Amino acid sequence: MTAKTAKAAISNFIPVVGKILGDSVDSIIGCGNILKNAVGVIGVIILVRNCHFANFEIEYFMDFILYFVWRV
């Protein structure tokens, strides 16, 4: 809602180039949303990767312990 208000205010406040500036504000807001989504996706990928490696380490450790328990 704030973005639409800012775009309308810029478009109406400046008589000649207001429409151009209003469209540029819309483009900047769109780019910000794309960057926000990209950062979110990268965060999810990092989280899944870290959980996968932690699971792998636990599994490896349990196999190591079970090897020695069955050997004794």
Residue 66 has pLDDT above 80, yes or no: no
Rounded mean pLDDT, 5-17:
76
| 12-65 pLDDT, tens digit each | 777 777 778 778 878 888 888 888 888 888 888 888 888 777 777 777 777 777
Q: What is the DSSP string of 6-56?
A: HHHHHHHHSTTTHHHHHHHHHHHHHHHHHHHHHHHHHHHHHHHHHHHHHHH
pTM of the entire predicted model? 0.53
Residue 69 has pLDDT above 70, yes or no: yes
For residue 1, name the pLDDT band (cuts at 50, 70, 90): low
